[in-house]
């Protein structure tokens, strides 16, 4: 697994011993607990298990540090409304001489991320994750911040997409004609015209936990915010199959236009992310490749149905 570099402190890269001292200085009541690194291919945060029941979450980069306050404020309010377990913050530390960013302590959620330990009961996961998205959207979002993926897919990916299609096609990985035609279909879609709703924004396999082959929790709410719910249909193509996708859609209760924009997200996110990470992070590149492959297969099927 490719793991991105850990954050740094004035002493150098952050490791187990440093985190132990950091915790002891800020939360002396937890200072004697053992610290263990949690392997991850994530790009925004690094985590360390603290004893049996807690986890320390440290931003890797400045933009991720901006998510700390948001998660601390909103997760306790949203959690009671959600049908799956989510992280519960129990401590917050401000930046200091030892570490330049704010950081959090959460209750530990037992389970394995669904990239490293794929779910065996996809039908159960499709229903539960669909219900999760519907429940999240139902919570009042009038005071919520905008999600970085809450805007239209056309605006978020448009500048990077042509280069991704060109380079992946040159390497024989993508049919440029199909990808271009599919993207043009996305550009013609009606955009979200309803009020902003809550979205997780990053429902990738690495941000989902499973136990015994069944989905058990949703983690990493750095993308939490409000906007178009289409981005939260990404699991239909990142995780589910043609057989289980309809179960997810029914449970998520999204309309035809939102579903079509979600397929557009799968296409654009998959192409751009594979292009960006294929030599940097093999995990994200593999998820992206699977996502754009599933989306392009659907576009090809839809184009064939239209032609006939």
Residue 300 pLDDT greater than 70, yes or no: yes
* Cα 220 to Cα 223: distance, rounded to the nearest angstrom: 8
Residue 290 pLDDT greater than 80, yes or no: yes
**Reported confidence tier of residue 14, pLDDT bands at 50, 70, 90:** confident
| pLDDT of 238 | 98
pLDDT tens-digit map of 23-36: 999 999 999 999 99
The mean-pLDDT minimum among 141-155, 200-214, 258-272 falls in 141-155
DSSP 101: S
pLDDT tens-digit map of 247-263: 999 999 999 999 999 99
Taking residues 140-161, what's their average pLDDT? 86
| pLDDT of 7 | 63
**Reported confidence tier of residue 301, pLDDT bands at 50, 70, 90:** very high
| pLDDT of 246 | 98
* Cα 203 to Cα 221: distance, rounded to the nearest angstrom: 9
pLDDT above 70: percentage of residues in the chain: 94
What crossing angle do the helices spanning 176-187 and 256-277 adopt, rounded to 10°?
140
Looking at the DSSP assignment, which residues form a beta bridge with residue 59?
A: 45
Beta carbons within 8 Å of 184's beta carbon, 6+ residues apart? none
| pLDDT of 154 | 85
pLDDT tens-digit map of 54-112: 999 999 889 899 999 999 999 999 999 999 999 999 999 999 999 999 999 999 999 99
**Reported confidence tier of residue 157, pLDDT bands at 50, 70, 90:** low
| pLDDT of 303 | 84
Taking residues 294-300, what's their average pLDDT? 97
Mean pLDDT of the chain: 92
Residue 136 pLDDT greater than 60, yes or no: yes
Residue 308 pLDDT greater than 70, yes or no: no
Q: What is the DSSP string of 142-206?
A: TTPPBPTT-S-HHHHHTTTHHHHHHHHHHTTSS-HHHHHHHHHHHHTSPPP-S--EEE-S---GG
Residue 146 pLDDT greater than 60, yes or no: yes
pLDDT above 90: percentage of residues in the chain: 86
| pLDDT of 171 | 96
| pLDDT of 39 | 84
Backbone angles phi, psi at 74, to 5 degrees: -95, -30
256, burial (CB in 10 Å: exposed 0-12, middle 13-18, buried 19+):
exposed
| pLDDT of 3 | 43
Q: What is the pTM of this model?
A: 0.92
């Amino acid at each position: 697994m490719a793991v991105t570099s850990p954050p740094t402190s004035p002493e150098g890269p952050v490791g187990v011993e440093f985190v132990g001292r950091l915790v002891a200085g800020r939360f002396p009541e937890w200072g004697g607990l053992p610290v263990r690194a949690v392997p991850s291919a994530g790009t925004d945060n690094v985590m360390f298990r603290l004893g049996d029941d807690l986890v320390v979450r440290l931003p890797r980069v400045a933009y991720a540090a901006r998510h700390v306050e948001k998660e601390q404020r909103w997760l306790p309010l949203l959690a009671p409304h959600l049908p799956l377990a989510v992280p519960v913050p129990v401590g917050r530390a401000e930046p200091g001489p030892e570490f330049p960013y704010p950081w959090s302590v959460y209750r530990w959620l037992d389970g394995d991320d669904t990239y490293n330990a794929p779910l065996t009961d996809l039908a159960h996961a499709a229903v539960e994750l669909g219900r999760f998205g519907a429940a999240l959207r139902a919570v009042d979002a009038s005071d919520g911040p905008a999600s970085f993926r809450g805007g239209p897919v056309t605006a978020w990916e448009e500048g990077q997409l042509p280069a991704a299609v060109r380079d992946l096609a040159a390497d024989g990985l993508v049919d440029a004609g199909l990808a271009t035609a599919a993207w043009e279909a996305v550009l013609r879609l009606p955009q979200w015209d309803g009020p902003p709703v809550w979205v997780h924004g990053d429902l990738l396999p690495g941000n989902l936990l499973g136990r015994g082959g069944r989905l058990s929790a949703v983690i990493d709410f750095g993308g939490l915010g409000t906007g178009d719910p289409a981005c939260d249909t990404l699991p239909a193509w990142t995780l589910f199959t043609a057989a289980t996708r309809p179960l997810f859609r029914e449970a998520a209760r999204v309309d035809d236009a939102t579903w079509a924009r979600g397929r557009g997200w799968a296409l654009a996110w998959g192409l751009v992310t594979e292009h960006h990470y294929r030599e940097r992070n093999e995990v994200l590149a593999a998820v992206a490749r699977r996502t754009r492959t599933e989306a392009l297969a659907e576009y090809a099927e839809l184009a064939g149905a239209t032609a006939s």
